[in-house]
Chains A and B, each alone.
Chain A
């Protein structure tokens, strides 16, 4: 009897061991050898430059089949795999690239988390979407992205040329090596103030739009709006950006600022500036007057929704948000808007706002760069990648790419996919529902030619906080906690609150952080 039991338990142990080994199937990560189609590299005469200059592929050489794995943002739409299959067929037939694509999507805050874990664990992929607001700086601090210094000019010469001409590569460097493929769109997000024009009109307020230029003007406007619509939310906070603009300050991340007029690029903790104090003062005033509502921090309302619903009637915006389409509930709603402090300096948006990166672990960086080069040269390929398949995922109306009948952005089967922003190309981009005709040209012109829009002297600079990790965590936490309240005027006496914040941060070691930051800035400036 006992023997029977022993064999039974042994058998069970074996079964359990075997089930865990069944997992030794496809890891799904490695390159599939695929059918070795003996395709010769048919280089299209008209696009011969796209294949790289001789060194990469010559007519006799055949490219081995590889699967390129890409990661993009947000959810995967229903026709994505189908479209990328067609893209693979197109590049294979026309250029002999001999690739398949494995395109994955990760949504929201999970994107950053998952990609950081994958990088730390040494997973392999070939291209991923990045941004300075995502995990870019954390990744390059860990050396997760491959240096493209040598590969870029060899495998994507035209793309490289475009980068050189627009000067964006400087921002994409770490330790002097290019580690990202920045976007080439140019824009400037200097503060505008927006308010519901239709409501102002309906209440008979004759507001001279062009006269709203300073904080005092904004306050005057708030008084009128609050009086006319006491039951609606007037404003959500006292926005720091407007005050930074007034002082020609640029934020360099981690709650530090630099004056755009300062050739020495001296960093200042933002709470120690006059701009911050002024912001706090107005926050307190507006909270007391009821323009900022009392429960703003605790009610967990989605402010974007409030605006659409017509319950919040002003917005701190920029040139883009003033014109972008909104899902207004009230059909007659529209924004009136004006640029604040038109003669003060504001830095253009960083070239790393949306970019693509190749990880150190990629096995096919050459092939990936070749693909990106093709994307840069071929309008048809660009259309396929960004808009999909005509008739199925988009309709071409003249120059514009529109949704097929009955489709819109909420039930799109391919268009408006997240992460495409890193692949935008100003030469090929088409007007769509979201970004209408001439939108990008207008943004670029504004960034380039408006006299008071400047390129930040510290574009691409990232503060490596490792040497002052502990102090940095503490001062950041102090700032986050206090700023939340100060911004909406719920911190009591504003002067006292700001003084307390400054003192607390000093006690927590902000001077040490500042010294290290300044050292890194000086090094960055010297190496440029």
Chain B
């Protein structure tokens, strides 16, 4: 490794970046430590980096109802993997098409895609389309299909494709390659950074989604993991709104304590955080390796 000259500037920047990283890390550590704290200690000392009184009781309670957590994981992992792969494929293919300058009706199609990003028909029409026309109710595709196409990602990838030198496209055409070959063998491999970005955000979107589980799924075995957390949060939210009835207040007396909530958060967000290190290298890697020599 090349020896780097250690300047003052380098040290300052390093310190700044490290402290920023710690600030970002701090809430995560609090949540993890909170999940190992007893309720009594949480009341007395609040949340701290080291739990006041250590206990694994929250996790024990959660794992008692393990089948629903296991089910949630199964569903969410399946949906995330298939959904991300499908979404990446469809969005990038659309972006490729839109980046071709020789596409007839290109402007119209672009505007059409843009409009979907600006506004939509509302919740009820969306629900009617999903349930009545696409029959997306109580099956696993209901969790995948509604989020497959995303105008924002399409434009992101399209702009990246457009920035790839046209000479690549032309030379490939001259060599007799078809559009799909050009897309898959030339454009896609060159777009690792943008694909990694889109992959990350899509995967996050699928992993965190509870909305489709709430609106379109009623079978408990098909509920995604986030629905577990959502029920708890929805109840708490409801209690904080104006005037819940005394019956609801009595119901809320059995709302889980903070330790349990934190444990649930750890279980539902833990795995997706592990995705980051895997895609990180694509952001850092250089682009246009061995590209065109102008």
Contacts and interface: CB of A to CB of B under 8 A. Distances in A.
Interface of A: 1-2, 5, 8-9, 16, 19-20, 22-29, 74-76, 78, 104, 106-110, 114, 117-118, 120-123, 131, 133, 189, 302, 304, 309, 318, 320-321, 324-327, 329, 353-354, 408-412, 416, 418, 421, 434
B246 A410 contact: no
B223 to A, nearest CB: 10
Nearest to B125: A121
B131 A123 contact: yes
Q: Is the interface of A mostly helix, strand, loop or mixed?
A: loop
B250 interface: yes
A508 B263 CA distance: 48
Contacts of A120: 124, 127
Contacts of A321: 246, 249
Interface residues of B, number: 55
A409 B250 CA distance: 10
17 contacts: A5-B180, A5-B181, A23-B137, A26-B138, A29-B131, A29-B137, A75-B235, A109-B234, A117-B127, A117-B215, A121-B128, A122-B128, A302-B240, A318-B246, A324-B246, A410-B256, A411-B64
Counting chain B CB atoms within 10 Å of each CB, which of A2, A110, A411 scores highest? Answer: A110
B135 interface: yes
B243 interface: yes
A23 B136 contact: yes
Contact of B247 (A27, A75, A302, A421): A421
Contacts of A16: 90
Interface string B118-149: 00000110011001101111110110010000
B165 interface: no
Given A110-B234, A354-B247, 5 more contacts: A23-B141, A26-B138, A108-B231, A109-B237, A304-B249
A280 B141 CA distance: 54
A125 to B, nearest CB: 10
Contacts of A123: 131
Given A9-B180, A107-B234, A24 B135 contact: yes
The 4 closest A-B pairs by CB, nearest first: A108-B234, A28-B138, A5-B178, A108-B238
A5 B179 contact: yes
Interface of B: 40, 43, 61, 64-65, 90, 123-124, 127-128, 131-132, 134-139, 141-142, 145, 176, 178-181, 214-215, 218-220, 230-231, 233-241, 243-254, 256
A19 B141 contact: yes
A104 B217 CA distance: 11
B241 A74 contact: no
A430 to B, nearest CB: 16
Contacts of B139: 22-23, 25-26
A465 B130 CA distance: 31
Contacts of A29: 131, 137
A189 B243 CA distance: 13
B128 A108 contact: no
B135 to A, nearest CB: 4
Given A27-B131, A117-B123, A1 B178 contact: yes
B243 A133 contact: yes
B245 A418 contact: no
Contact of B134 (A23, A110, A318, A408): A23
Contact of A74 (B61, B137, B235, B245): B235
Contacts of A27: 131, 135, 137-138
Nearest to A78: B65
A118 B126 CA distance: 11
Given A117-B215, A354-B245, A411 B127 contact: no
Contact of B244 (A106, A133, A327): A133
A28 B237 CA distance: 29
A184 B248 CA distance: 18
A2 B231 CA distance: 53
Contacts of A117: 123-124, 127, 215
Nearest to A112: B238
A304 B240 CA distance: 10
Nearest to B138: A28
A76 B220 contact: yes
A350 to B, nearest CB: 11
A434 B249 CA distance: 11
B253 A327 contact: yes
Nearest to B217: A28
Contacts of A28: 137-138, 218-219
